[in-house]
C-alpha cells in the first residue's frame, strides 16, 4: 500500500503546483487557498503512505484549523489589486534579488552535497493503533521534555504577540 | 485485490455518495412535515401521497432556475464553493461502517473464478476512523469561506466569518468530548468500537467484574456527559438552529449563501444535511452500539437466517441488510432530534454562542477527559 504510484504521483503533482501557486498568486486570498490545497493533499499523502494518524492530524490541525484562521484574517482586509512589482527602489531590489540568489544557492548546495543511498523501505504497520501508540510513547515518554519545551515556546510566542500588539503604536494600542 | 474487487469497491463508493444525496430529499420532507406538525400546521400535503412528490417538483424547480453570478464576484470561487460543500460530508460518511460486513463465497463469472470476498459496508476502513472523520469534516469551513468571499457581498462575508469562527471554536469541544470514550474503548476504529459494545453492561468495579444484565454495553452508559457535549458540538458544527448564526435571516439576509440560487444553493443544503447524517451516525456508533441490536451479535442474526434455510451468501446478505436497517433506524432517530430541536429552540446571540463553546463545553469536556483518565487507571488497578 505504501507509495502506490497511482496515488503518489497525482498527489505529489498537486502538492507541488499548489505550493507554487502560494508563491505566484497575486491575490493573498488565492495564495492562502493554494496553501489549503497543498495541506489537504499532504494529509492524503500521509494516508496513502500508511501514516494514518499523522494524516488525520494533518487534516484536522493544519488544513482544518490553522489555515482557516489565515484565510479568515485575510478576508477581513480589502485586498483587491495588490499585485506589486517585486520591489521598488534600487537598494531594495538589489537586496531582495541577492537574497533570492543566496537562498537558491543554499538549496542547490544542500541537494548536491547530499549523499544518495537507497533507503530501506519498512513496511507500514498494518495496525494503525500500534503506530499511534508508538507516536504517543515518543511524544509523551521518550521525548516528553523536548515536546513540553516546544509547547512553552508556543505559549511564549502567543503572549509575545499579544503584548507587542498592545504597546504604543501597536495594532491594539490602548493609549 | 483483483479487478472484480476493485470494481465492487468503486461501485460501493458511488452508492454511498448517492445514498447520502438521496437521503436529503426525504429529510427535507421530514423536516417540512415535522415542523408543520410541531407548529400545528399541515405542511406540504397536496402533491402526491402525504405530499411526498412535492420534493420532485422542488427538484425540477431548482434545476430550471436561472443561473446568476453577481457582478464583482470571483467567478471561480463562487462556482467552486457549492461543489466543495459536498466533499467533507461525503468523505466523512464513507468512513463510517453502515452495516455488518458481507461475505461472498467464491463464484464464477466471465469464465473466471472470483472471491471469496469479505465486503465491508463502508467506503474505506483506515482504522483511525474518528481522527479521519474529524479531519475531513473540519474542511467544511472552506466552502463557506469561499462562498462568502467569492460572492462579493458583505452579508455573505459576515456569514462566512461567523461560520468559520464558530466551527473552529466548537471543534475543540467536539474533539475533547470524544477523548473520554476513546480512552475507554482504547481504539480509533469504528468496527472495533461496535464490537466492544456487544453484550450486557460489563465493567470493573472495586477490582471485580460487575455485570448489569438488563442494560446493553453501550457507550452512553459510560460517558453520558461526553455524549451530551458531543451532540451539542455537532449541532454547532453543522450550523443548525439554535447555532445557525452564519445564516441568521434577521441580520444577514441568508448569510453565506445569500447570492446563491437553484441547484447551487441546494448543494449547500446537501452539505448541511450530510453533516447531520455524519453526526447522527457517529452518535449511533460511539454511544448507541452502531449497527448492532442490544444483546444480538451479527453472528446470531446470521445463524438465524441460516436456520431459516438461507444459503451462505443469502444469510450473509440478509445479516448485512438487517444491521444496515438497525443503524439507519438509529440514525433517523437522531436526525429527528436535530429537526425537533431546530423547531423548538430560538437562535443564540453570538456572544452566548461563544460563551457556550469556550466557557462551558470546553471546560466540561476537559474535566470529563481528566476524570475518565483517572477512572481508567484505577479500574486497571495499576
Q: What is the pLDDT of residues B53-101, one digit of tens each?
A: 888 888 888 888 888 888 877 888 888 888 888 888 888 888 888 888 8
Residue in A29, A53, A72 nearest the CB of B128: A53
Spatial contact of B343 and B38, defined as CB atoms under 8 Å apart: yes
Q: Which set of grid coordinates corresponds to residue B270?
A: 446537501
A–B interface: beta-carbon pairs under 8 A: 87
Domain ranges of chain A: 1-83
ipTM over 0.90: no
User: Burial of B230 by CB count in 10 Å (0-12 exposed, 13-18 middle, 19+ buried)?
Assistant: buried
Q: Which set of grid coordinates corresponds to residue B141?
A: 469551513
CATH 1.10.3720.10 fits A1-83, yes or no: no
For A89-101, letters b (16+ CB in 10 Å) and e give: eeeeeeeeeeeee
What is the residue-level pLDDT of chain B in tens, covering all 382 positions? 677 778 888 888 888 888 888 888 888 888 888 888 888 888 888 887 887 888 888 888 888 888 888 887 788 888 888 888 888 888 888 888 888 887 777 777 776 777 677 777 787 777 778 888 888 888 888 888 888 888 888 888 888 888 888 888 888 888 888 888 888 888 888 888 888 888 777 776 666 677 777 778 888 888 888 899 999 988 888 887 788 777 777 777 777 888 887 788 888 888 888 888 999 999 988 888 888 887 777 777 777 877 877 777 778 888 888 888 888 899 999 999 988 888 888 888 888 888 888 899 999 999 999 999 888 888 776 4
Q: What is the pLDDT, as a whole number, of residue B365?
A: 92
Q: What is the pLDDT, as a whole number, of residue B184?
A: 84
Q: Which set of grid coordinates corresponds to residue B296?
A: 444480538
How far is Cα B282 from Cα B130, in angstroms, rounded to an integer?
A: 9
pLDDT in tens, B20-43: 888 888 888 888 888 888 888 888
* Cβ neighbours around A31 below 10 Å, total: 18
Cα-based angle A139, A143, A145 (whole degrees, multiple of 5) = 110
Q: What is the pLDDT, as a whole number, of residue B364?
A: 93
pLDDT in tens, B174-213: 888 888 888 888 888 888 888 888 877 777 666 667 777 7
Residue in A29, A52, A72 nearest the CB of B128: A52
Tell me the residues of chain A between 120 and 149 that have a Cβ less than 8 Å away from chain B: 127-129, 132
Q: Most B CBs within 10 Å: which of A43, A71, A124, as the mutation test of the B interface?
A: A71
Residue in B135, B149, B164 nearest the CB of A68: B164
Q: Is B136 on the interface with A (CB under 8 A)?
A: yes
Amino acid at each position: 500500500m505504501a507509495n502506490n504510484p497511482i496515488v503518489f504521483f497525482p498527489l505529489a503533482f498537486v502538492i507541488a503546483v499548489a505550493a507554487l501557486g502560494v508563491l505566484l498568486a497575486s491575490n493573498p486570498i488565492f495564495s492562502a487557498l493554494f496553501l489549503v490545497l497543498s495541506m489537504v493533499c499532504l494529509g492524503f499523502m500521509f494516508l496513502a503512505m500508511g501514516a494514518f494518524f499523522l494524516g488525520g492530524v494533518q487534516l484536522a490541525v493544519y488544513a482544518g484549523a490553522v489555515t482557516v484562521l489565515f484565510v479568515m484574517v485575510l478576508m477581513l482586509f480589502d485586498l483587491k489589486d495588490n499585485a506589486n512589482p517585486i520591489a521598488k527602489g534600487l537598494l531594495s531590489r538589489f537586496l531582495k534579488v541577492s537574497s533570492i540568489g543566496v537562498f537558491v544557492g543554499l538549496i542547490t548546495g544542500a541537494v548536491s552535497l547530499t549523499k544518495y543511498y537507497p533507503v530501506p523501505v519498512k513496511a507500514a504497520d498494518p495496525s494503525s493503533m500500534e503506530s499511534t501508540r508508538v507516536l504517543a510513547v515518543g511524544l509523551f515518554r521518550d521525548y516528553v521534555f523536548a515536546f513540553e519545551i516546544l509547547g512553552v515556546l508556543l505559549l511564549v510566542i502567543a503572549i509575545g504577540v499579544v503584548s507587542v500588539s498592545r504597546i504604543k503604536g501597536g495594532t491594539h494600542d490602548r493609549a | 485485490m483483483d479487478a472484480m474487487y476493485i470494481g465492487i469497491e468503486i461501485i460501493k463508493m458511488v452508492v454511498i455518495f448517492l445514498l447520502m444525496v438521496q437521503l436529503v430529499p426525504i429529510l427535507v420532507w421530514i423536516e417540512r412535515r415535522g415542523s408543520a406538525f410541531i407548529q400545528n400546521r399541515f405542511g406540504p400535503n397536496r402533491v402526491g401521497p402525504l405530499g411526498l412528490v412535492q420534493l420532485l417538483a422542488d427538484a425540477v424547480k431548482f434545476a430550471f432556475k436561472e443561473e446568476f453570478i453577481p457582478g464583482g464576484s470571483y467567478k471561480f470561487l463562487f462556482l467552486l464553493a457549492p461543489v466543495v460543500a459536498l466533499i467533507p460530508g461525503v468523505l466523512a460518511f464513507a468512513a463510517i461502517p453502515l452495516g455488518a460486513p458481507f461475505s461472498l463465497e467464491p463464484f464464477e463469472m466471465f469464465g473466471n473464478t472470483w472471491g471469496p470476498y469479505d465486503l465491508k459496508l463502508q467506503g474505506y476502513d483506515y482504522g483511525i476512523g474518528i481522527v479521519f472523520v474529524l479531519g475531513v469534516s473540519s474542511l467544511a469551513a472552506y466552502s463557506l469561506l469561499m462562498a462568502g468571499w467569492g460572492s462579493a457581498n458583505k452579508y455573505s462575508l459576515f456569514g462566512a466569518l461567523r461560520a468559520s469562527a464558530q466551527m473552529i471554536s466548537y471543534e475543540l469541544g467536539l474533539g475533547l468530548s470524544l477523548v473520554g470514550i476513546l480512552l475507554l474503548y482504547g481504539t480509533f476504529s469504528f468496527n472495533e468500537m461496535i464490537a466492544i459494545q456487544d453484550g450486557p453492561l460489563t465493567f470493573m468495579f472495586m477490582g471485580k467484574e460487575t455485570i448489569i444484565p438488563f442494560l446493553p454495553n453501550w457507550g452512553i452508559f459510560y460517558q453520558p456527559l461526553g455524549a451530551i457535549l458531543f451532540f451539542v458540538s455537532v449541532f454547532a458544527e453543522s450550523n443548525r438552529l439554535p447555532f445557525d448564526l452564519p445564516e441568521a435571516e434577521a441580520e444577514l439576509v441568508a448569510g453565506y449563501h445569500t447570492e446563491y440560487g437553484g441547484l447551487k444553493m441546494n448543494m449547500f443544503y446537501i452539505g448541511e444535511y450530510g453533516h447531520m447524517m455524519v453526526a447522527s451516525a457517529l452518535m449511533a456508533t460511539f454511544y448507541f452500539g452502531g449497527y448492532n441490536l442490544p444483546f444480538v451479535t451479527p453472528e446470531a442474526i446470521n445463524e438465524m437466517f441460516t436456520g431459516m434455510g438461507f444459503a451462505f451468501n443469502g444469510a450473509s446478505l440478509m445479516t448485512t441488510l438487517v444491521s444496515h436497517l438497525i443503524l439507519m433506524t438509529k440514525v433517523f432517530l437522531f436526525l429527528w432530534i436535530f429537526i425537533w430541536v431546530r423547531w423548538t429552540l430560538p437562535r443564540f446571540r453570538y456572544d452566548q454562542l461563544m460563551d457556550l463553546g469556550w466557557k462551558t463545553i470546553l471546560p466540561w469536556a476537559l474535566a470529563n477527559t481528566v476524570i475518565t483518565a483517572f477512572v481508567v487507571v484505577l479500574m486497571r488497578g495499576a
